[in-house]
Amino acid sequence: MLLDNTITELGTLLRSKKISSRELVEEAYDSIEKHNGALSAFITVREKKDALCDADASDASSSRGPLAGIPFCLKDAYVTKDLKTTAGSKVLDTFVPPYSATVVQKLLASGAILIGKNNMDAWGHGATNENSDYGPVKNLWDTTRVAGGSSGGSAAAVSARMAAFSIGEDTGGSIRNPASMCNIAGLKVTYGRVSRYGAIAYASSLDTVGPMAKSVSDIAEILEVIAGVDPKDATSSRREVPHYSTLLEKPLSGMRVGIPKEFFAEGLTPEVRDIFVKATRMLESLGAQTLEVSLPSLPFGVSIYYLIAMSETSSNLNRYDGVRFGNNPSFFGEEGMRRIIIGTYALKAGYHDDLYGRALKGRTMLIREFDALWETCDVLLGPTIPTLPNKLGDLSENTMSAYLADAFTAPVSLVGSPSLAIPAGFSKSGLPVGMQIIGRKFDEATILAVGHAYQKATDWHKKKPALLS
């Protein structure tokens, strides 16, 4: 398949006229026709004729950036002008936005071609993508298992070659979690690195916009386009955007890789642990120096995260009252209602200081512990999720187990650092396992370089599920 190639490879082929953008778009729609019925990766697919019209215009253009003519999709958490946006909830089933999110505008301006909107847990509430009002997303590696959430549709679409890349949204692990379960790369950026304007908010102090793709080199190409300050988003950073794709070849010799011992706590399954240890050995063989470090507050990260996230989402969802936006608010699902109720309780007078206030103090403790580690470490390394992808339905009656899927990702979100999830191997049953590379704030370049070096030395990210063979 043409879409097995990296974005850089596709760009070279497009510029030399060896392939056309029309061919790429045709291939994407063919994959959607073959696999979307089984996977439920999309909520909305653009009319094929419209995407082909964009492809033909790209093929005829003499101006060609790195993403020009490349088909992409995005999580349905981003508003798209004249294209339905639902956030995975029937509350917004008839909502057609009058404008597009900044990230969408940047990608379209770069010449990338939008294919459609990906399925997601309603409002971003979930780690398995079973909380979508449009049905659960299935894992291409085993369709009886979850694809991860809440950006599960994006991960499944990229894994199934329904697009070259997707844009997910990561609040507590929603890019990294499904990327690891579906054997692709996913980047949670530094908070403020990419504009959130036009993103339907889950938890405003935690939400980040990031790319999901087959390889780290693809992630670098996409990030160069979408990163940067946005006058419409006061939380976006004015820091200069590096040329990430030119910084990928940074050598790992002498790189200090810290491995927090708390990642090996109870709950980490033996298979995931063994694969992660082998991955650390590979980085050592490439010249990296690994050292054991500690983040004492890490075990409290999930509790801190969910108190803050639920408090913020209870506030954000107040706007969907059936008058100004969307349909009847009774369409809220069980998980959405649970988070609204808990969040409202945490903010209630008499409980605010004891619950939400203490969570904010816990967040500050985590930030200080991470900051202290940068004195001795260049990056941190850990498993992405503690277990293999669950069977569909396994966690539907066990809410706490579902929340614990974010045990290794949520603490990173709380401190605002970037984290790159990449494939690290497979279980004995053939299920993907990922690891995450965590960096200093605004140092995406270093974690991308580490991930790229690992992928040059391994081929896990090139493996394809049997369903595609």
> What pLDDT tens digit does each residue of the chain (469 aa) get?
999 999 999 999 999 999 999 999 999 999 999 999 999 999 999 999 999 999 999 999 987 899 999 999 999 999 999 999 999 999 999 999 999 999 999 999 999 999 999 999 999 999 999 999 999 999 999 999 999 999 999 999 999 999 999 999 999 999 999 999 999 999 999 999 999 999 999 999 999 999 999 999 999 999 999 999 999 999 999 999 999 999 999 999 999 999 999 999 878 999 999 999 999 999 999 999 999 999 999 999 999 999 999 999 999 998 887 666 666 667 888 898 899 898 988 888 777 788 889 999 999 999 999 999 999 999 999 999 999 999 999 977 777 778 888 999 999 999 999 999 999 999 999 999 999 999 999 999 999 999 999 999 999 999 999 888 7
For the purposes of burial, counting CB atoms within 10 Å of the CB of 142, is it exposed (0-12), middle (13-18) or buried (19 or more)? buried
DSSP 79: -
Q: How far apart are CA 42 and CA 76, in angstroms?
A: 9
Instruction: Compute the Cα dihedral for 181, 384, 195, 214 and give only its sign.
Output: negative
Q: Pick from 299, 403, 391, 306: which is nearest to 345 by CA? A: 306
Range 265-273 contact pairs with CB under 8 angstroms and sequence separation of 24 or more: 265/299, 267/386, 267/387, 267/404, 267/407, 268/383, 268/386, 269/386, 269/387, 269/388, 271/388, 271/427, 271/428, 271/433, 272/383, 272/385, 272/386, 272/387, 272/388, 272/427, 272/433, 273/383
Q: How far apart are CA 165 and CA 178, in angstroms?
A: 14
What tokens were used for 343? 């969040």
- Predicted TM-score of the model (pTM): 0.96
What tokens were used for 136? 């659960």
- Residue 350: the pLDDT is 75
- Residue 267: the pLDDT is 87
- Residue 326: the pLDDT is 60
DSSP string, 287-352: T-EEEEE--TTGGGHHHHHHHHHHHHHHHHGGG-SSSSSSS-GGG--HHHHHHHHHHHHHHSTTTT
Q: Which amino acid is at 140?
A: L
Q: Which amino acid is at 439?
A: G
CATH classification of the domain holding 205: 3.90.1300.10
Number of domains in the chain: 1
Q: What is the dihedral of CA 293, 297, 300, 304, to 10 degrees?
A: -120
- Residue 323: the pLDDT is 63
State which residues form the domain around 27. 2-468
Q: Which amino acid is at 133?
A: D
Residues tagged active-site: 75, 150, 174
- In terms of DSSP H, where are the helices of 90-185? 102-109, 152-159, 176-182
Cα 247 to Cα 11, 112, 438, 457: the distances in Å are: 19, 23, 17, 17
Helices and strands (DSSP H and E) totals, the chain: 14, 13
Q: Are 257 and 290 in contact (CB under 8 A)?
A: yes
What tokens were used for 246? 């030119």
CA 113 to chain centre: 20
- Residue 6: the pLDDT is 97
**CB under 8 Å to 101, separation ≥6 — which residues?**
78, 79, 80, 195, 197, 198, 199
Q: Pick from 84, 87, 143: which is nearest to 120 by CA? A: 87
Cα 460 to Cα 183, 324, 371, 432: the distances in Å are: 8, 47, 32, 9
Q: How far apart are CA 390 and CA 459, in angstroms?
A: 24
